[in-house]
Amino acid sequence: MHKPLLLFPLLLAGCVSTPPVKSPLPTALVTAKLETQPVATMEDAADDPAIWRDAANPAQSLIIGTDKRAGVHVYDLQGRQVGFTPSPRLNNVDLRDVGGSIGVLVAASDRQDLAQAQMALFRLDTSAKTLVPLVTLPVGPGEAYGMCLWQRASDKALFGFVVLKDGRIDQIAIDLNTAIPSGKVVRSMKLGTQSEGCVVDDRTGILYVAEEEVGLWKFDAAPEGSSVPTVIAKADGNEIVMDAEGVALAPIGVDGGYLIVSSQGDNAYAVYKLPEANYVGRFRINDGAIDGVQETDGIELMLGDFGPDFSGGLFVVQDGDNMPQKQNFKLVDWAEIKRALGL
């Protein structure tokens, strides 16, 4: 969600007062290696990416990217569009390899009906490099916004979390044991204001959600778990400059790794080290051979070998200002980010 930065001062009874605003912490600089072809529509359109890694041939991995005014794109690792599925008003996207007849399941928050949230499910045909629509599941009243999946480590049960624009988070148990997948809302949680970006750690069962003007929270992802959130970081202009937007995860080992959140207000990204989610640094994607990135909504990070350009992992971000072209997604080498931050 792109918003103008809030400007102070506040005018009260003829007096001007300027509230103190923190300055962001030191910010490292990196550059993108590649970028995708722009989306088809000029307006605020590109939104959120997901990554499918081809374990047998990492260079043949694919990037899924939503155009919330037209549909969902499939890109190769050179940024070329290799597939497109029309489906207007899809916002956030996530995927899991669930095996069976479906294989790679792609889920997206569906905003076609602003009064009734939905979740759209697709099968990623990795050979044809295209998405095959499966079903659209009803979620509940409200406008669907954020979306992330959780595949529970203990039994591979699959859940979707749809973040409503007003901060409600509905958890859906997804049943893949029938010809057409079905879903049932098993729990609702609530943050106070507009929220969107989310990610779940499959290993630990922790759900991370960004409340745009407040900061980053975590929940117990288990359906029977507590619905009370724990704050990780505030969007106070220090680590995160509001809006807090996309959230991504790089799992390492049993419960380690990194958590990244888009600090949209100053075109940067804050990084936290797991399992404690301690702040370790922030970075910005500057101009290089590829132009820099501004106003990022969705982000995705995946570790592992993706071929010679991204041998240590791939970080993909939405670029909200790709002028003079339309919006697109930028591809960054995770190894460069680690070097810049000294991780």
Strand order in the sheet with 46-52: 46-52, 62-67, 71-75, 81-86
Q: Are 17 and 9 in contact (CB under 8 A)?
A: yes
pLDDT computed for residue 13 by the predictor: 34
pLDDT computed for residue 42 by the predictor: 75
Q: What residue ranges of the chain have pLDDT lower than 70? A: 1-23
What's the pTM value of the predicted model, to 2 decimals? 0.92
For 285-318, b/e burial (b = at least 16 CB within 10 A) is: bbeeebbbbbbbbbbbbbbbebeeebeebbbbbb
Enter the tokens of residue 142.
């409200």
Residue 93 CB partners (closer than 8 Å, separation 6+): 48, 49, 50, 64, 65, 66, 72, 106, 107, 108, 109, 147, 298
How far apart (Å, rounded) are the C-alpha atoms in residues 158 and 149? 7
Nearest to 153 by CA among 206, 106, 100, 197: 206
Q: Are 124 and 52 in contact (CB under 8 A)?
A: yes
For the chain, counts of helices (H) and of strands (E): 1, 27
